[in-house]
Structure 1
Amino acid sequence: MFHKEGYKIISITLVLFLGINLAAYVAIQIKELQIAIFSTTLVFLILILQFFRNPKRVTKIDESTIVSPVDGKVVVIEEVYEKEHFKDKRLQVSIFMSPINVHVTRHPIGGEVVFSKYHPGKYLVAWHPKASEENERTTVVVKNNAITILYRQIAGALAKRIVNYATEGEKVIQGSDSGFIKFGSRVDVYLPIGTKVDVSLDQKVRGGESVIASL
């Protein structure tokens, strides 16, 4: 199963794969070169397919838990000042995605989207300290009866497009699809001070399933 954001590029890649290999079969008589071209284009096709995969995830709906919005590795757990929306201290949990991770973004909690904003910006590497403030990014705030959280999609050096589906006033379900980031980046989650963090640095998490914090 593939994400809808990949349909166009997957179609183009398939056409190129077939066209290049058909041309090589007709125009090139050296068997070894034909095999080399086929192998190279096949690897590229597989990379594109795996990048846009959209595996089914089963989220245990629970207002007392915050699930990971993405697949990846926890790279930051720290208290910071969140100056865009809350304008106070929050607990930041950051998850870094490599190009081989699933890049679907999912809602960490269910509730109402009360804030959603896109920011154009730079393309610093995703782990750069200033990436969360200077890179292209989107900020989304979701509120329910138990908690209000902010999560931020951040572009990286390779990510040239962030897709955000969250719209203000929308009711969302925990673990549901909230966007997509193309080709590597990170997501920061901002929690109220005192929230119990259930993950540790360098821990690998799965979007929509791994509980990263609880009330």
Structure 2
Amino acid sequence: MFHKEGQRIIITTFLLVAVTVLLANQFITLPWLQMSVQILALVILILILQFFRNPTRKPVKSFDDILAPVDGKVVVIEEVEENEYFKDKRIQVSIFMSPINVHVTRYAASGQIKFSKYHPGKYLVAWHPKASEENERTTVVINTPKFGDVLYRQIAGALARRIVNYAEVGESVQQGDDAGFIKFGSRVDLFLPLDAAITVKLNQKVIGAKTCIATTRIKKENED
């Protein structure tokens, strides 16, 4: 299954690859060169198909948990000052996506959209410390029953040139549902309350709509 945001690119790539294979058969006489061109064209098609893949995910929904919004690797876990919406301290958890990761963004929690804003910007490498504030990005805030307001930010990387964001203010959303897409190399930041119990570690690989990023369960157990 492929994401709808990739349909046009997939069709265009398929047509170009088909034309390339036919032209190579007709005009390239050296067998090794003909095969090399055809194999290269097919590899490009496979890479495009892999990038826009959209595996079906059925999360175990819970108001007590924040699930990973994307596939990738945890590159930041730290207390920071969030200056756009909260204007106070939050725990930031950042997930970096390489070009080979699934690039679908999924809602990390169920709730109501309170804020959704697109920012044009630079295209620094996604792991750059200033990428969260200077790159092309979208900021979305979900009001949740257990965590209060949770902010996530889609950040374009050095290769990305378009962020797709489906979140609309006032809309009720479900954990794990499709929230958007980032085309080619990127990062998603989560900003959580200071008392959220983080359940991931630096450099851990996570799966969107599957891996638990933070929970209120540990806090409950301690209170009991």
**2:167 aligned partner:** 166
Between the aligned partners of 2:91 and 2:29, the Cα distance in structure 1 is 62
The answer to whether the aligner puts 1:130 opposite 2:134 as a matched pair is no
Letter aligned with residue 205 of structure 1: V
Between the aligned partners of 2:22 and 2:182, the Cα distance in structure 1 is 33
Between the aligned partners of 1:73 and 1:176, the Cα distance in structure 2 is 20
**2:91 aligned partner:** 91
For residue 81 of structure 2, give the secondary structure of its aligned residue in structure 1: strand
For residue 112 of structure 1, give the secondary structure of its aligned residue in structure 2: strand
Between the aligned partners of 2:70 and 2:151, the Cα distance in structure 1 is 14
**1:187 aligned partner:** 188
Displacement of 1:29: 2.0
Letter aligned with residue 93 of structure 1: V
**2:221 aligned partner:** none
**1:42 aligned partner:** 42
**2:8 aligned partner:** 8
Letter aligned with residue 36 of structure 2: A
Q: Cα RMSD over matched residues?
A: 0.6
**1:104 aligned partner:** 104
**1:60 aligned partner:** 60
Between the aligned partners of 2:105 and 2:28, the Cα distance in structure 1 is 44
Deviation string, structure 1 residues 101-148 (Cα, Å, up to 9, x no partner): 000000000010000000000000001010000000000000122122
Displacement of 1:65: 0.1
Moved more, 139-148 or 198-207: 139-148
Using the size of structure 2 for normalisation, the TM-score is 0.95
Letter aligned with residue 140 of structure 2: V
Displacement of 1:58: 1.5
Deviation string, structure 1 residues 134-178 (Cα, Å, up to 9, x no partner): 000000000122122000000010011000000000010001000
Letter aligned with residue 82 of structure 1: E
Q: Show structure 1 runs of 5+ residues with no match.
A: none
Letter aligned with residue 95 of structure 1: I
Displacement of 1:34: 1.2
Structure 2 contact 144–150 (Cα < 8 Å) conserved: no
Letter aligned with residue 198 of structure 1: T
For residue 180 of structure 1, give the secondary structure of its aligned residue in structure 2: strand
For residue 160 of structure 1, give the secondary structure of its aligned residue in structure 2: coil
For residue 66 of structure 1, give the secondary structure of its aligned residue in structure 2: strand
Deviation string, structure 1 residues 20-53 (Cα, Å, up to 9, x no partner): 1101101122211110011111111110000000
Between the aligned partners of 1:144 and 1:28, the Cα distance in structure 2 is 61
For residue 90 of structure 2, give the secondary structure of its aligned residue in structure 1: strand
Structure 2 contact 103–181 (Cα < 8 Å) conserved: yes
Q: Show structure 2 runs of 5+ residues with no match.
A: 217-224
Percent identity of equivalent pairs: 62
Between the aligned partners of 2:43 and 2:29, the Cα distance in structure 1 is 22
Between the aligned partners of 1:92 and 1:36, the Cα distance in structure 2 is 46
Moved more, 14-23 or 25-34: 25-34
For residue 14 of structure 1, give the secondary structure of its aligned residue in structure 2: helix
